[in-house]
Amino acid sequence: MFRMIFIDESQRDLLRIVWKESIDDSIKTYKLNRVVYGTTCAPYLAQRVLKQLVMDDGHNYPLTASAVSSDMYMDDLLTGAADIYSAKQFKEQLIALFRGGGMQSHKWSCNCKELLANSEVYDGDVSLIIFEETKALGLLCRPQKDSLAFSVSANVDICESCKITKRSVFSTIARIFF
């Protein structure tokens, strides 16, 4: 998602890379044109771009606008629809909204194979794959079973002689991202 967001030209001086191939070469300076994963501002910029996209074009895509505002978790959209018809409309609106912002949707996952049919997908826009299991913020999603799960390993797996204590249970629970 970050690599789909352009940096304003006036701000590109703040994202520079200094490069030198060898000791004898001169120093080259590159300005980054897009948001880079790992920078402190990247998560904020990604969420702000989504908010601006909804503010600018949300009125054209009423089904999608509220979901993008409330159901996005970084670059994952976790949402649903009441029936297949509204889900298809939602999918079309989401693709159009993101396309308007210069973004492409990837890795769709759903428990309805009919929704994942390639019929209305445009040239390389999305990769429609039926995943047995996928992740969203550490949460395991199993679309075909329509279930969510956590995957944790207890501290006692490391040491067979270790006892399960309140402390080890709380430590394991704290690793689950909510």
pLDDT of residue 154: 54
d(CA 131, CA 102): 26
d(CA 143, CA 166): 33
Residue with tokens 């998602």: 1
pLDDT of residue 147: 80
pLDDT of residue 119: 44
Q: For the chain, 178 residues long, give each residue's pLDDT as a single digit of tens.
A: 888 888 889 988 888 999 999 999 999 999 989 988 888 888 898 899 999 999 999 999 999 999 999 988 878 888 888 888 998 899 899 999 998 888 887 777 777 777 776 544 444 545 555 567 777 767 787 877 878 777 766 555 556 667 778 887 787 777 765 5
- pTM for this structure? 0.69
d(CA 11, CA 167): 47
pLDDT of residue 120: 47
Element (H, E) at 32: none
